[in-house]
């Protein structure tokens, strides 16, 4: 999907102060080669999904169709574009549940949806703050957003994310173990830490934050440890 997206946006990316360094925009990968690689990966993804189940094939196919529609058209439609990108994260988590035959709870889906929305709204917020004149913008929707509107979106997403996780964690405890409840602390602190990045406007690349923020990494390890004890310890 990234090959298709960057191949379609190659000219606009070359005019963007940061995106011009991407392999396709920089000329490292030719546009025809990008499309060819994308076709092979699409076919390979569907083929691998067949090894799991037909339900997994349906989820992967839905993901491909929705994301292609985003690349070709929906990225230019305000509000819809952030919903589509968020749905991509959600469909990936659903694919994991289908592939492993694990029933996903409403709480898990709620956290996944608003966690995704927080990340996507943070990305758009960073794009606007980092490129206020929309130089080389490839999304018409970006010009329809204001930083105050996107701030409202990620504030709301963060609040619902924290509330959803907290209710789920407390429901797990329910007289059995306090460890799941304790996992709320590092989870909330991690959300607050990530919100700090968004507020500074440097959340355009979430992967850079995940790989570079030591405090966030420590909180993540602590959260996983507490959650694991809460879920699996007698």
- Across 182-211, average pLDDT: 93
Per-residue pLDDT band at 134 (split at 50, 70, 90): low
- Across 133-149, average pLDDT: 71
pLDDT at 130: 76
pLDDT at 141: 72
The most confident of 10-19, 202-211, 212-221, by mean pLDDT: 212-221
11 lies in some domain: no
Percent of the chain residues past pLDDT 70, beyond the cut: 94
In this prediction the pTM is 0.84
d(C-alpha 14, C-alpha 136), whole Å:
7
- Across 190-209, average pLDDT: 92
62 lies in some domain: yes
74 lies in some domain: yes
d(C-alpha 225, C-alpha 227), whole Å:
5
Q: What average pLDDT does the structure give for the chain?
A: 88
6 lies in some domain: no
Sequence-distant (6+) residues with CB within 8 A of 52 are 98, 99
Could you give phi then psi for residue 90, rounded to 5 degrees? -65, -45
Q: What is the pLDDT of residues 106-132, one digit of tens each?
A: 898 999 999 999 999 999 898 888 776
18 lies in some domain: no
Domain housing 136: 53-232
Q: What is the pLDDT of residues 59-81, one digit of tens each?
A: 999 999 999 999 888 888 889 99
Q: What is the DSSP string of 100-127?
A: TT-PPPHHHHHHHHHHHHHHHHHHHHHH
Which three-class secondary structure state does DSSP give residue 22?
A: coil
CB 212 within 8 A of CB 194: no
- Across 79-106, average pLDDT: 91
22 lies in some domain: no
Please check the confidence at residue 234 and state whether its pLDDT lies above 70.
no
Sequence-distant (6+) residues with CB within 8 A of 212 are none
Q: What is the pLDDT of residues 154-173, one digit of tens each?
A: 999 999 999 999 998 888 76
Task: Name the token pair of 92.
Answer: 């990936």
Please check the confidence at residue 207 and state whether its pLDDT lies above 70.
yes
58 lies in some domain: yes
Please check the confidence at residue 136 and state whether its pLDDT lies above 50.
no
36 lies in some domain: no
- Across 51-63, average pLDDT: 93
Percent of the chain residues past pLDDT 90, beyond the cut: 56
d(C-alpha 213, C-alpha 197), whole Å:
10
Between 99 and 142, the more confident residue is 99
Per-residue pLDDT band at 183 (split at 50, 70, 90): very high
**Total structural domains within the chain:** 1
CB 194 within 8 A of CB 203: yes
Q: Which helix (H) or strand (E) holds 85?
A: helix 80-99
- Across 194-213, average pLDDT: 91
d(C-alpha 150, C-alpha 227), whole Å:
31
């Amino acid at each position: 999907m990234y090959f298709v997206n960057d191949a379609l946006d190659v000219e606009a990316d070359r005019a963007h102060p940061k995106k011009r360094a991407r392999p396709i925009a920089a000329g490292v990968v030719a546009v025809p080669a990008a499309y060819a690689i994308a076709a092979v990966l699409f076919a390979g993804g569907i083929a691998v999904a067949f090894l799991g189940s037909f339900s997994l094939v349906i989820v992967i196919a839905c993901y491909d169709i929705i994301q292609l529609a985003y690349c070709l058209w929906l990225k230019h439609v305000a509000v819809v574009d952030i919903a589509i990108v968020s749905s991509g994260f959600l469909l990936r988590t659903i694919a994991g549940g289908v592939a492993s035959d694990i029933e996903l709870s409403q709480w898990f889906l709620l956290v996944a949806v608003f966690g995704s929305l927080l990340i996507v709204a943070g990305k758009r917020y960073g794009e606007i703050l980092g490129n206020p004149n929309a130089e080389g913008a490839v999304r018409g929707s970006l010009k329809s957003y204001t930083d105050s509107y996107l701030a409202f979106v990620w504030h709301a997403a963060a609040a619902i994310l924290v509330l959803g996780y907290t209710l789920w964690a407390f429901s797990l405890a329910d007289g059995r173990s306090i460890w799941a409840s304790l996992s709320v602390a590092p989870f909330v602190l991690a959300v607050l830490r990530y919100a700090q990045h968004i507020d500074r406007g440097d959340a355009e690349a979430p992967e850079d934050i995940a790989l570079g923020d030591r405090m966030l990494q420590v909180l993540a390890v602590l959260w996983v440890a507490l959650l694991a004890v809460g879920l699996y310890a007698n």
